A and B are shown apart, each in its own frame.
Chain A
Amino acid sequence: MVILNRLDGEQNEAVSAMNERGKAGTRRRRRGKLKKLWIPLAFLLPALGLYAVFFVYPFLFSLSLSFQKWNLISPDKEFVGLANYIHLLHDDVFWISLRNSALYVLMTVPLAVGIGLAMALLVESMWKGKRLYRLVFFLPVVSSIGVISIVWGLMYNPQVGAVNALLASFGIQGPNWINDPAMALWALAIVGIWKGFGYNMVLYISGLKSIDRSLYEAAAIDGAGRRGQFRHVTLPLLSPVTFFILVMSIISSFQVFATIQIITRGGPNNSTNVLVYQIYQEAFQFFNIGAAAASSTLLLVIVGTLTIVQLRLSQKMVHYQ
C-alpha cells in the first residue's frame, strides 16, 4: 500500500536520525526531550481521548458482549461463553446474509472499479470537456445516500418506475427488480455501482496524471503501439492506485446499509439481507445484543483477513514508478 510503504521509509529515516542523535546524546538532553514529549501529546490528546472512548473501549466492549446474553434493557447480563457464536453458526439468516455480503461485493467491486478506470481513461483522453464529464460522473458520489435510495426505490417500481419504462421503450420487458429474490441484490448492486464509480474514476485520473510522460515516449521508441503502451506502461503504473481502490471498495461494499434499510429491508425473503443489516436487526429489532456483537466480531475478522490477504498479494503485484 502506498501509505504503508511511505510510512516504512519515514520510519527508517526517523530511526537513523535517532541513532545519530543517540551517539552524541547526553543525559541532560534526554531529559529535555522527555519534557518536550508533552507538547505533541497535548496536541494529540483530543484525538486520542476520542478514539479511546469511542473506538478502543467499544471495540473491547463489543468483544466481551459477544460472550454474553443481553437484551439492551435488562440490568443483567449473563456470561454464556461461545453460545452466541454457536447460535450464529446454526442460524440460517446469518449464513444467508454472509453469502449476500460476499455476492454484493463480487457484484459491485469489479464493475465499479472497471467502469471507474474506463471512464478515467476516456475522460482524460479528451481535448475538451474533461472537467464537465468529471463533474457529472462524480455527482452520484456526493448525493445523499438516504435521499437517493428513496428515488432508486421508486425507479425500480416494476410497473411505473423509470428503469422498466426505459427498458420497455427498447422493447425489453424488465424484471420485477426489488420484488424478485433473484434480482433484488442486483438492483441494490446497481445503486452501489452508480454511486461508487465516480470516486474510483477521480482516483484513477489522479493516478494517470502522476505517470511520467517520458515513459510513453520511451515505450513508443521501443516500438510499442497504443495498446502496448497501455499494457506495459499505464496498467502497471496504475497498480498502486488500483490496489488502494480495491481495498477501499471492498471495505465499503461490506458496509452497505442505507440502500437495504430503505429500499428492501433485507427482503424479499432475506435475499438482500447482508451482514451489516443482520447486525442491525439482531441489535435494534430483536434486542439480541450478544448475537449482534458476535456477528460484528466475525465481520471484523472477515474484513481484516481480506485486507491482509490483499496486502500480501499487493507485494507481488503492485509496481511503483
Chain B
Amino acid sequence: MQRTLRLMEEGGKHLLLVAIALVTLIPILWMLVTSVKAPQEVFSGHLFWAAHFNLDGYLRVFRDIPFALWAWNSSFIAALQTLGQLVVGLAAAFAFAHYRFPGRDALFFFVLMTMMIPPQVTMVPVYMIVNEMHLLNTFGGVIVPHLASGYAIFLLRQTFMTIPRELGDAAVIDGCTAFGTMWHVYLRLSGTVMSALAVILFVGNWNDYHWPLLVLAEKSMQTLPVAFVQFREEESLEWVPTMAVATLSMLPILALYLAAQKQFIEGFMNSGLKG
C-alpha cells in the first residue's frame, strides 16, 4: 500500500516535471520547427509541426550568409581567450594556494571583488584603452581585456587548496622548480576541474555579446551572435532562414554541452560553494 502510494507520487511528479521541461524547451523547439517550415507555413501552420518540411532556410544560410566566417571568428576568439584565461588563472591560483606572503589574502579578496563589479562600470575606459592600443576591430581587442578571469582564478585556487601542501613541498625537496611544482603537482591533480573550467569559460566566451559588439565594428571580424543580430536587421532576413541560422549557432555549444554535461554541471556546482 505504502509502496503503491509512493509510486503514484513519483508518477505524478514525473508528469509535472515533463510538463515544465516542455515549457522550458518551447523556444528551442519552436526555433527548430520553424527553421524547417515552408515560408507560407510560418504564419499559418501548426506551431510545432512543419507540414511542408524543407531545408531551404539552411540552403540559404550556406548560399547567402557568411555563416562559416562568423562561426570561425567566434570559435577562434573563444578558444584563444579560454586558453589565455586558463594559463593566467593557473599561475595566479598556484601562487595563492601554494605560497604564503604578505597581502595574499587582500589580493585574493581583490580578485573576488572584480567579479562583483558590473563590467559596464569600466567599459568606456577599457574601450578607450583598447583604442589607444590600436586593438579596435581585432580579435586581440576582444580577448586581451578579459584574460584575467576572476572566476578561473577563484575556482582553481579553491581546488588547489584541497591538494595537501605536503605534496607540493615534497616536489620542491625533490628538486622541482616552482614552475615544475605547479605543472607536475597542481595541474596534474586537478585535471577534472581544469576541463570543467575550460568548457565553462569557452561557452561563456563564445556567448559573450556586449563587449564584442563594442570592439568589432568591422563585419568580417564579428563574432557569430553580433554579426547575426546586425545582418538580420540590415537584410531584414525572413523568419525561416533566421531560425536556421539560430539553430546552427546553437549547435556547437549544444553539442559541447551534451558531450561534457557532467563536468559542466559539476563545475558550476563547485563554483562558490565548495571549499
Contact = CB atoms under 8 A, between A and B. Distances in A.
B99 to A, nearest CB: 4
A152 B239 CA distance: 12
29 contacts: A14-B100, A14-B104, A40-B101, A44-B91, A47-B92, A47-B111, A48-B107, A51-B148, A53-B129, A59-B122, A61-B125, A65-B125, A139-B24, A142-B203, A142-B254, A142-B257, A147-B228, A147-B249, A151-B30, A151-B31, A248-B272, A255-B118, A258-B210, A279-B120, A293-B124, A296-B121, A297-B121, A303-B118, A304-B117
A207 B273 CA distance: 8
Interface in B22-79: 24-28, 30-31, 42-43, 47
Contacts of B144: 50, 54
Interface in B145-168: 145-148, 153-154
B14 interface: yes
Contacts of A307: 116
B250 A251 contact: no
Interface size class, chain B: 35 or more
B197 interface: no
B21 A136 contact: yes
A296 B273 contact: no
Interface in A172-222: 194, 199, 202-203, 205-207, 210
Interface of B: 10, 13-14, 16-17, 20-21, 24-28, 30-31, 42-43, 47, 87-89, 91-92, 94-96, 98-102, 104-105, 107-112, 114, 116-129, 144-148, 153-154, 178, 182, 203, 206-207, 209-210, 213-214, 224-226, 228-229, 232, 239, 242-243, 246, 249-250, 253-254, 257-258, 261, 264-265, 268-275
Interface stretch (A92-100, A104-112, A125-133, A227-235): A125-133
A257 B272 CA distance: 24
B47 A255 contact: no
Interface of A: 2-3, 6-7, 10-11, 14, 17-18, 36-37, 39-41, 43-44, 46-48, 50-51, 53-55, 57-59, 61-62, 65, 72, 119, 122-123, 125-129, 133-140, 142-152, 154-155, 159-160, 162, 165-166, 169, 194, 199, 202-203, 205-207, 210, 240-241, 244, 247-248, 251, 254-255, 257-258, 261-262, 276, 279-280, 283-284, 289, 292-293, 296-297, 299-300, 303-304, 307
A54 B242 contact: no
Contact of B124 (A140, A257, A283): A283
Given A206-B269, A251-B116, A299-B118, A43 B246 contact: no
B27 A296 contact: no
A46 B16 CA distance: 50
Q: Interface residues of A: mostly helix, strand, loop or mixed?
A: helix
A144 B13 CA distance: 30
Contacts, number: 268
The 5 closest A-B CB pairs, nearest first, are A146-B225, A58-B125, A206-B269, A50-B148, A40-B99
B148 A205 contact: no
A144 B24 contact: no
Contacts of B94: 43
B24 to A, nearest CB: 6
Nearest to A37: B101
Contact of B265 (A40, A162, A202, A258): A202
A254 to B, nearest CB: 6
Nearest to A49: B148
A299 B13 contact: no
Contact of A296 (B42, B124, B275): B124
A154 B250 contact: no
A146 B273 contact: no
Nearest to A191: B27
Contacts of B47: 162, 165-166, 169
Of listed B30, B98, B119, B127, residue having the most chain A CB within 10 A: B30
A145 B228 CA distance: 12
B269 A146 contact: no
B125 A57 contact: yes
B263 to A, nearest CB: 13
A304 B229 CA distance: 33
Contacts of A297: 121
Of listed A58, A199, A247, A296, residue having the most chain B CB within 10 A: A58
Nearest to A6: B275
Contact of B120 (A134, A160, A262, A276): A276
Given A40-B99, A126-B13, A244 B261 contact: no
A134 B261 CA distance: 10
A58 B122 CA distance: 6
Contacts of A61: 125, 128
A29 B92 CA distance: 25
A240 B148 CA distance: 27
Given A7-B108, A143-B250, A154-B239, A46 B88 contact: yes
Contacts of B257: 139, 142
A281 B242 CA distance: 27
Contacts of A14: 100, 104-105
A94 B104 CA distance: 40
A210 B10 CA distance: 23
